[in-house]
């Protein structure tokens, strides 16, 4: 799941060279899109720069849909020197590919949020490590709940059960330990040292058969 | 379609020793997301079952669940499907599903699968274009080609020199990203920019727990605000929210359909050629769930004939009246008894007699709600107006606060409730202020301010949000002791009591980005939509769609020769949306936003296949047609249209 | 010389830690080590970009100290190197004749002076220990054979006896022992009772433990540690003791007294002591004298 944040006003101003066409994507707005901030910024931009059109649509990451949505604006786009896209990185790349001969710029930075399906980010996360460790950890993911993604127990940096990186974040391994304790399964932790495998040559045939 | 969510059963060598000290297994599998949605061929539990059985383990059961990581739906389901005797739970899904189950159940929960990748989350369309969400988008420097994802080493300052014949050293089938970037920049004439680029050093601290956590918390809060599901479409109220309410000019002719409410059409009691006056009854309620119809003008009945109905889309019986412009009031229009003297039954009769129906949506006769046998404790007045663009209720609240409160008092008495709550969304500050001030001294009426979320104004959501209870499937608010009415309805009740005027006019917002002069008008029942639009200066642009109601639930009208009826809260002109539905990609968004906790994706499959049984099984009749699913669908499937087809077929007994 | 040999001989093993500077002139460090540590300690720990602050490398510093006749412990963290670089540096250490390793996960990058850096953590303390052990058996962690002579080290690790969750610490300690750790140095101890209780449980692993001492310099420092440093807790009466005579504390006398006292109280329960002087290396001889070592 992705969220977007606007780039700084100065950056965007410096990008809007010549006739500028703006595309906003609201497809993932439920997850997050700084709708009002973007509107504000584009209004201000219209006063100083030559903004020829602002189009707000959704799911521009879908190439066919993108083509359909931009169809009636193609004249203005052809005429523009610059196209600035306010969307996640996928949307921007899709536009850049579609408008191959245009300067396509990104008005946003994209950040990850935990959760794959739907529009509600989750409190649990999965980094798709390919060798699920949950069986050793009482169902708490060490890759995502530990700042260092450690797989052989805590680093020792936690203070009062809170991670050394962020005092508002519980130490993942502390949570794992407590959970296993509760399940009366502390023995689970007595496994051989684990070394992660970052190489998945078999990633292709992967259906749960 | 490719399978984007990739997880696979763990290898036998790993599972076998692991199973040793486990027994009485229960196996849960997720039906996966981001794949072609087909009913019935989802991942199998049988391999694991077999493996366990080979080891002499008892498998006490298994289940396949849609969107296992959807906590709300999964936790409800788990309560009913995991048998008592289950000890160890094995889950086949991606890591999210497994962790979600582990959080919900007391039993030990184990992963039976490894997660390899879930690419679909990167943008909804399932393409090969990916984004690693680095928090510092570099596309502006690279001509729109992502150096983080496309370059195997995520280099930021040009290629590594390992490419051979333009192919990446890591994968001979992949083009070297930096080679692509170079070529693209060259073709754009931006090579000098590329060469002048400063050294880029990536900032890995940008994406940190605090930052992400703040987002997760705030997004989750707004998503779970009050009730499950719902959406936050752009409000777009600015077109008409600051324009004062005025009366629409007297129409020359009105067309008043006999069916303006839920239930049977009214029975005509006037004839062609007869003169009628304002407030005179034209048609009598025909049955328990029905409502009388009154004239909104004084003049002559010139025709009684089938005319195009604004929402039914077909011609239905209507009374056509030519106005004499006099507006003479019918003698039946006189104030009712004082609120202190009138009895509950008399209130109910009055409300029925004056043709008052729900003015927010389906036009359900208000008197029928009041007559419900269940004990009602709270009257909820819906002033949310959660539909984007519409400002009719907003204007009503700022213009007629006294009437609304009087109507509320009448409804409290009429329903035998103890108290009343006026619910307003937090984007209507002035209305909140006025009503709060005016109700401050009334002990049993309060104003509740709620955060905006569509479809808050729907009865079921309102009750859930305000009272924290769920209305049972197929039930009504009265089943849980609540009476829900729209603020406009309360105003109509007040008119019926204080002046005796039946429901013959209402507030209509005329708005949308394509209307020339937006406004809020007090419009007589039967006024032509065409006249209204013309009065407002017409529309801009030829790619315009006119809808009656808001953008979410409104009905598109192609022929503008239709009248305003009791439930017409808006006439909007918006840009025509062009979209082509593609296959469902199981993104799960519709499931996440459906406030009724349904799984709309099934309807997209079942309706075209005419599988009405399947639709019933998926509780299609519980759908409130709020349109949240269609709004969010990443495949642009007109889900509500398909739902309506299914409901119609089921109602017709298919 | 390998630390394990001292332990095997039943010696009470004394080590002290030095931190390389941010720069490549280490004359001062060498001078201090020669003056205060030589002859008094069994080995000198050299920290590895301590607290995620970029400094001169641990391995090079070890080599220079070794050339000056000091026995060294090469501290290795997993923060900045992936498994290839880690194993390669371990081989380099063998080449340079470094006999002792202290294998750590390492602080997170965001805590130091390069918060933007990419945190690596490809391996962690346990898997790194496992990797070294594999190398000692003739294979790298990917299973490829190592040419020629196999390296051999004393493999150390750390543990926090006064941590808020001692049980979890013990579990981790057990994992480390199983992975091949041969001695432990502890986080700074200020509460002997807690340490003794911890040792009562830790002795089951049969691996020597060195009591960790961080010389308390002043009230500000211990308050900071109480608030921020994992596994460290300075009790109130000790803070009072530091407060009592400001001059004495400033001169380092109080710190030395406290440190020596803790060592004496814990000596019978452990196999050595590890002193983290944090710049006060000059105080080490006094501590050892007062502790009777
Ligand atoms: S261990 Fe964590 S990252 Fe790996 S598959 Fe399981 S949930 Fe996902
Ligand atoms: S993300 Fe959710 S729906 Fe998709 S596979 Fe995982 S558990 Fe199932
Ligand atoms: S229209 Fe029906 S199925 Fe769709 S979100 Fe609304 S209630 Fe759910
Ligand atoms: S939102 Fe549309 S594409 Fe996504 S699961 Fe629902 S029906 Fe399918």
- In whole angstroms, what is the distance from residue B365 CA to residue B292 CA? 10
Distance C37 CA to ligand 4 centre (A): 70
- In whole angstroms, what is the distance from residue B313 CA to residue B320 CA? 18
Return the pLDDT at A207: 40
Contact assignment for A96 to B188 by CB distance below 8 Å: no
Distance A203 CA to ligand 1 centre (A): 15
Atom of ligand 4 at shortest distance to CA of B636?
Answer: 2
What CATH code would you report for C3-290?
3.20.20.220
Return the pLDDT at A200: 65
pLDDT in tens, C209-218: 999 999 999 9
Give mean pLDDT, residues C126-135. 95
| Chain C contact set for B205 (CB, 8 A) | 109-110, 115-117
Return the pLDDT at B195: 82
pLDDT in tens, A124-133: 999 888 889 9
When the pLDDT of each residue in chain B is averaged and rounded to a whole number, the result is 92
Least confident piece of the model among B129-133, B293-297, B363-367, C112-116 = B129-133
Give mean pLDDT, residues C146-156. 97
Q: Please state, for a pLDDT cut of 90, what percent of chain B lies above it.
A: 75
Alpha carbons within 13 angstroms on the beta-carbon side of residue C169 total 25
ipTM metric:
0.90
Return the pLDDT at B126: 77
- In whole angstroms, what is the distance from residue B71 CA to residue A124 CA? 11
- What is the distance, to the nearest Å, from the Cα of residue C195 to the centroid of all Cα atoms in its chain? 17
Alpha carbons within 13 angstroms on the beta-carbon side of residue C64 total 19
Atom of ligand 4 at shortest distance to CA of B589?
Answer: 1
Residues 6+ apart with CB under 8 A from C225: C188, C214, C232, C234
What are the structural domains, with CATH classification, of chain A?
2-135 (3.40.50)
Atom of ligand 4 at shortest distance to CA of B632?
Answer: 1
Return the pLDDT at A209: 35
Task: Annotate B44-76 with b (16+ C-beta within 10 A) or e (fewer).
Answer: bbebbbebbeeeebebbbbebbbbbbbbebbee
Tokens representing B77 are 């389901």
Among the bound ligands, name the one nearest to the CA of residue B69: 2
B224 touches A at CB < 8 Å? yes
Tokens representing B277 are 């006056």
Give mean pLDDT, residues A37-53. 95
Return the pLDDT at A73: 95
- Is the pLDDT reported for residue B363 higher than 90? no
pLDDT in tens, A9-26: 999 999 999 999 999 999
The closest alpha carbon to B590, from B582, B598, B578, B579, belongs to B598
Tokens representing A150 are 């450690």
- Is the pLDDT reported for residue C270 higher than 90? yes
- In this prediction, residue B90 has a pLDDT band, given cuts at 50, 70 and 90, of very high
Q: Which of A181, A195, A196, A198 to mutate to test the interface with C (most CBs of C within 10 A)?
A: A195
B55 touches A at CB < 8 Å? no
- Is the pLDDT reported for residue A74 higher than 90? yes
Contact assignment for B203 to C116 by CB distance below 8 Å: yes
What are the structural domains, with CATH classification, of chain B?
7-223 (no CATH), 344-498 (3.40.50.11540), 589-651 (no CATH)
Nearest residue of A to residue C120 by CA position? Answer: A148
Atom of ligand 2 at shortest distance to CA of B32?
Answer: 5
CA distance B150 to chain A (A): 11
A118 touches B at CB < 8 Å? yes
The closest alpha carbon to B86, from B105, B99, B114, belongs to B105
Return the pLDDT at B554: 93
- Is the pLDDT reported for residue B287 higher than 50? yes
Distance A143 CA to ligand 1 centre (A): 6
Least confident piece of the model among B178-182, B534-538, C186-190, C207-211 = B178-182
DSSP string, B117-129: EEGGGSSSS--S-
Give mean pLDDT, residues C141-147. 95
Q: Are strands C43-46 and B570-575 parallel, antiparallel or unpaired?
A: unpaired
Return the pLDDT at A208: 38
Return the pLDDT at B42: 59
B167 touches C at CB < 8 Å? no
Rank A125-134, B165-174, B347-356 by mean pLDDT and report only the highest. Answer: B347-356
Give mean pLDDT, residues B357-383. 91
Rank B48-52, B195-199, B639-643 by mean pLDDT and report only the highest. Answer: B639-643
Among the bound ligands, name the one nearest to the CA of residue A128: 1
**What residue spans define the domains of chain C?**
3-290
- Is the pLDDT reported for residue C2 higher than 60? yes
- Is the pLDDT reported for residue B4 higher than 90? no
Tell me which residue has its CA closest to atom 8 in ligand 4: B584
Give mean pLDDT, residues B429-448. 96
The closest alpha carbon to C172, from C158, C182, C185, belongs to C158
Q: Which of B127, B139, B193 to mutate to test the interface with A (most CBs of A within 10 A)?
A: B139
- In this prediction, residue B366 has a pLDDT band, given cuts at 50, 70 and 90, of very high
- In this prediction, residue C67 has a pLDDT band, given cuts at 50, 70 and 90, of very high
- C132 phi/psi in degrees, rounded to 5: -65, -40
Distance A128 CA to ligand 1 centre (A): 6
Return the pLDDT at B279: 96
pLDDT in tens, B526-557: 999 999 999 999 999 889 999 999 999 999 99
pLDDT in tens, B574-601: 999 998 999 999 999 999 999 999 999 9
Tokens representing B509 are 């917002």
- In this prediction, residue C171 has a pLDDT band, given cuts at 50, 70 and 90, of confident
Residue B466 near residue B256 (C-beta atoms within 8 A) = no
pTM to 2 decimal places: 0.89
When the pLDDT of each residue in chain C is averaged and rounded to a whole number, the result is 95
| Chain B contact set for A69 (CB, 8 A) | 578
Return the pLDDT at A201: 55
Task: Annotate C97-134 with b (16+ C-beta within 10 A) or e (fewer).
Answer: ebbbbbbbbbbbbbbbeebebebbbbbbbbbbbbbbbb
**Cis before B342? omega within 30:** no
- Is the pLDDT reported for residue B172 higher than 70? yes
Among the bound ligands, name the one nearest to the CA of residue A126: 1
Q: Is the dihedral of CA C219, C221, C225, C228 positive or negative?
A: positive
């Amino acid at each position: 799941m992705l969220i977007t944040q606007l780039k700084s006003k100065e950056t965007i101003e410096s990008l809007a060279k010549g006739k500028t066409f703006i595309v906003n994507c609201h497809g993932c707005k439920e997850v997050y899109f700084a709708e009002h901030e973007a509107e504000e910024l584009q209004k201000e931009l219209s006063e100083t720069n030559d903004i020829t059109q602002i189009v707000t649509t959704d799911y521009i990451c879908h190439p066919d849909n993108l083509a359909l949505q931009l169809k009636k604006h193609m004249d203005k786009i052809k005429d523009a020197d610059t196209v600035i896209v306010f969307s996640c990185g996928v949307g921007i790349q899709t536009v850049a590919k579609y408008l191959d001969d245009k300067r396509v710029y990104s008005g946003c930075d994209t950040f990850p949020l935990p959760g794959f399906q739907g529009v509600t980010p989750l409190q649990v996360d999965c980094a798709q490590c390919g060798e699920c460790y949950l069986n050793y950890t009482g169902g708490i993911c060490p890759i995502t709940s530990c700042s260092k993604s450690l797989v052989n127990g805590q680093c020792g940096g936690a203070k009062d059960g809170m991670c050394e990186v962020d005092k508002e974040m519980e130490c993942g391994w502390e949570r794992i330990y407590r959970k296993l304790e509760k399940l009366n399964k502390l023995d689970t932790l007595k496994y051989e040292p684990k070394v992660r495998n970052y190489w998945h040559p078999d990633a292709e045939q992967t259906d749960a058969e | 379609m490719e399978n984007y969510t990739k997880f696979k059963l763990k290898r036998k060598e790993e599972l076998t020793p692991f199973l040793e000290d486990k027994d009485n297994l229960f196996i849960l599998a997720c039906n996966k997301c981001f794949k072609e949605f087909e009913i019935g061929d989802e991942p199998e539990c049988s391999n694991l079952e077999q493996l366990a059985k080979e080891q002499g383990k008892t498998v006490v059961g298994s289940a396949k669940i849609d969107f296992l990581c959807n906590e709300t739906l999964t936790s409800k389901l788990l309560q009913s499907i995991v048998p008592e005797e289950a000890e160890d739970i094995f889950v086949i899904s991606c890591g999210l599903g497994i962790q979600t189950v582990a959080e919900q159940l007391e039993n030990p929960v184990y992963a039976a699968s490894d997660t390899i990748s879930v690419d679909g989350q990167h943008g909804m369309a399932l393409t090969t274009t990916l984004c690693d969400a680095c928090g510092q988008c570099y596309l502006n420097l690279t001509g729109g080609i992502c150096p983080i994802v496309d370059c195997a080493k995520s280099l930021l300052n040009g290629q590594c020199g390992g490419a051979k014949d333009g192919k990446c050293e890591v994968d001979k089938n992949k083009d070297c990203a930096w080679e692509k970037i170079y070529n693209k920049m060259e073709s754009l004439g931006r090579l000098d920019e590329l060469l002048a680029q400063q050294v880029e050093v990536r900032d890995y601290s940008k994406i940190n727990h605090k930052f992400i956590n703040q987002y997760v918390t705030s997004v989750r809060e707004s998503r779970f605000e009050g009730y499950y599901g719902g959406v936050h479409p752009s409000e777009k109220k600015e077109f008409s929210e600051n324009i004062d309410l005025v009366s629409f000019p007297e129409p020359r002719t009105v067309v008043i359909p006999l069916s303006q409410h839920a239930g049977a059409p009214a029975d005509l009691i006037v004839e062609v050629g007869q003169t009628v006056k304002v407030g005179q009854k034209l048609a009598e309620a025909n049955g328990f769930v029905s409502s009388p119809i009154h004239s909104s003008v004084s003049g002559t009945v010139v025709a009684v004939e089938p005319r195009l109905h604004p929402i039914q889309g077909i011609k239905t019986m209507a009374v056509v009246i030519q106005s004499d412009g006099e507006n003479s009031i019918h003698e039946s229009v006189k104030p009712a008894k004082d609120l202190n003297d009138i009895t509950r039954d008399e209130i109910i009769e009055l409300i029925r007699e004056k043709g008052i129906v729900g003015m927010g949506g389906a036009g359900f006769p208000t008197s029928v709600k009041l007559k419900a046998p269940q004990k009602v404790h709270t009257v909820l007045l819906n002033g949310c107006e959660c539909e984007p663009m519409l400002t009719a209720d907003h204007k009503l609240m700022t213009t007629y606060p006294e009437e609304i409160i009087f109507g509320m008092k009448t409804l409290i008495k009429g329903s035998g409730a103890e108290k009343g709550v006026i619910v307003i969304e937090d984007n209507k500050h002035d209305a909140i202020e006025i009503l709060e001030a005016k109700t401050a001294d009334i002990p049993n009426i309060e104003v509740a301010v709620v955060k905006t979320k569509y479809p808050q104004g729907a009865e079921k959501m309102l009750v859930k949000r305000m009272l924290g209870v769920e209305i049972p499937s197929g039930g009504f608010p009265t089943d849980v002791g609540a009476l829900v009415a729209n603020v406009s309805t309360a105003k109509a009740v007040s008119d019926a009591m204080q002046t005796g005027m039946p429901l013959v006019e209402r507030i209509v917002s005329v708005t949308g980005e394509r209307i020339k002069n937006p406004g809020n008008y007090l419009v007589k029942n039967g006024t032509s939509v065409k006249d209204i639009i013309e009065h407002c200066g017409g529309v801009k642009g030829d790619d315009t769609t006119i809808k009656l109601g808001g953008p979410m639930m409104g009905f598109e009208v192609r022929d503008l020769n239709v009248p305003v009826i009791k439930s017409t809260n808006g006439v909007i002109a918006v840009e025509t949306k062009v979209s082509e539905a593609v296959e469902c990609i199981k993104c799960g968004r519709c499931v996440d936003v459906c406030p009724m906790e349904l799984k709309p994706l099934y309807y997209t499959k079942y309706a075209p296949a005419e599988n009405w049984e399947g639709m019933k099984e998926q509780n299609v009749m519980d759908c409130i047609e709020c349109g949240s699913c269609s709004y969010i669908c990443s495949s642009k499937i007109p889900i509500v249209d398909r739902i309506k087809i299914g409901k119609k077929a089921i109602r017709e007994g298919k | 010389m390998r630390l394990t040999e001292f332990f095997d001989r039943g010696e009470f093993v004394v080590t002290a830690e030095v931190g390389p500077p941010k720069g490549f002139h280490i004359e001062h460090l060498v001078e201090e080590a020669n003056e205060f540590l030589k002859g008094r300690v069994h080995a000198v720990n050299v920290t590895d970009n301590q607290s995620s602050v970029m400094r001169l490398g641990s391995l090079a510093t070890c080599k220079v100290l070794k050339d000056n006749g000091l026995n060294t412990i090469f501290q290795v963290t997993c923060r900045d190197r992936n498994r290839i670089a880690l194993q390669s540096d371990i081989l380099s250490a063998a080449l340079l004749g470094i006999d002792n390793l202290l294998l750590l996960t390492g602080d997170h990058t965001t805590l130091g002076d390069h918060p933007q850096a990419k945190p690596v953590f490809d391996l962690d303390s346990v898997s790194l220990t496992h990797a070294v052990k594999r190398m000692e058996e003739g294979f790298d962690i990917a299973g490829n054979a190592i040419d020629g002579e196999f390296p051999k080290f004393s493999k150390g690790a750390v543990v926090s006896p006064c941590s808020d969750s001692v049980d979890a610490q013990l579990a981790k300690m057990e994992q480390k022992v199983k992975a091949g750790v041969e001695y432990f140095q502890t986080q700074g101890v200020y509460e002997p009772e807690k340490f003794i209780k911890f040792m009562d449980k830790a002795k089951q692993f049969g691996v020597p433990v060195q009591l960790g001492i961080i010389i308390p310099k002043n009230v500000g420092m211990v308050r900071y540690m109480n608030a921020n440093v994992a596994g460290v807790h300075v009790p109130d009466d000790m803070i009072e003791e530091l407060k009592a005579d400001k001059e004495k504390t400033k001169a380092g006398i109080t710190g030395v007294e406290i440190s020596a006292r803790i060592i004496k109280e814990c000596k019978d329960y452990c196999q050595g002591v590890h002193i983290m002087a944090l710049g006060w290396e000059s105080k080490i001889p006094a501590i050892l004298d007062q502790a009777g070592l």
